[in-house]
Amino acid sequence: MSDLPRTADVVVIGGGVVGCSIAYNLAKRGVKEVVLLEKGSLCCGSTGRCAAGIRAQWGTEMNCRLGKASLDIFETLSEELGMDVGLYQGGYLMIAYTEKELEQLKKNVALQNSLGIRSKMISLDEARELSPHLNPEGALGFFFHHRDGHADPFLTTFAYAEAAKRLGVRIFRFTQCVGIEVESGRIRAVKTNRGEIHTRVVVNAAGGYSQDVAAMAGVSIPTYPEVHEIMVTEPVERFAQPMHMSFSGNFYIMQRPHGSVIMGYGPEEHEKSYECGNTVEFMEVMARKAVKLLPVMRGLRVVRHWSGLYDMTPDKQPIICEADEVKGFFIATGFSGHGFMFGPITGVVVAEMIMGEEPSVPVHMLHYRRFACGELILEPAVV
């Protein structure tokens, strides 16, 4: 293990897709001394435990812009980084089961179309062309965007990390931030379990642990960890193309390119905890939802079942900003389960902010001061 440097231009805390994307984009823009700290292995936190869906179908302008911009990047990311990121674009099939959801999804499509996202409402016949075994019982409408899809979270994170290292970024695994030194209202140093790094800029991309990292700098952000579960079946012959999702039905189900099916749902009461664990209740409820939607799944064996942390905010929208209280302390967290799909554009935007440039996507609304001011950006399209 190489020695920790005494100084750095920027220290990024967090080795998931967001942190690695930020480090890469900083180096790409010519920042010479970028250090990334990860307390475990790369991709060992929320990124490595996510379902890895990618979509531009959202219900707020901010998320539509972030989703579309990230999707644009994902489509050429393997070529840019020199490694395959496992992108598969089978689309997202949104299913409305209530009149309220139907009207909301129609509004969402109008918003998405106005922003250049070519989503649309489709017929049952068109939905069955995408998913021939779909059970339409109770469904009032179907909505689809062909460019949405899925990528491999490990391949994507490792591709960013390797590309960053080729540009000079130094990545230190098993190196935990234990303190942040602030002097006269600006960042002075980062303290780790292996020593101290003097720097003027720190990026908090610590996911579920971001609130703790922010507190080290004297900054309070209203993020909190929430445990979510996922399960995956054995691989079988292909029977469906898209990700199936419903907000009133409260599920997402997708058959991956190699044949296994990944699925999850959001219980009404999530456990706020750092302790990830699996429950029999989740498996039973999820299995019933899956078999009802796709009867062809009856009898499939579950081969993996795990949980991970959503880094939540009160409005389920991320925090992307420089702290008011501490100059040089940047925050990219609180993605509420959507950090992977927003990771590529977040790296670009945060790098631009650090360089003093105007962000490619205007993210001023995502400052944490919105919570104190009551200016929440409530997103209706979340499972």
Per-residue model confidence as pLDDT tens digits over 136-175: 999 999 999 999 999 999 999 999 999 999 999 999 999 9
More confident residue, 69 or 250: 69
CATH architecture of 10-48+154-223+315-373: 3-Layer(bba) Sandwich (3.50)
Cβ 349 vs Cβ 367: under 8 Å: no
First to last CA, the chain: 41
Please tell me what DSSP assigns to residue 2.
Answer: P
Rounded to an integer, what is the distance from CA 151 to the centroid of its chain?
12
Give the DSSP letter string of 33-97: -EEEE-SSSTT-STGGGS--EE----SSHHHHHHHHHHHHHHHHHHHHHTS----B---EEEEE-
Using one digit for the tens of pLDDT, what is the confidence trace for 366-383?
Answer: 999 999 998 888 888 787
Q: Under CATH, to which class is 92-146+225-312 assigned?
A: alpha beta
Report the percentage of the chain scoring pLDDT > 70. Answer: 99
pLDDT at 120 over 70: yes
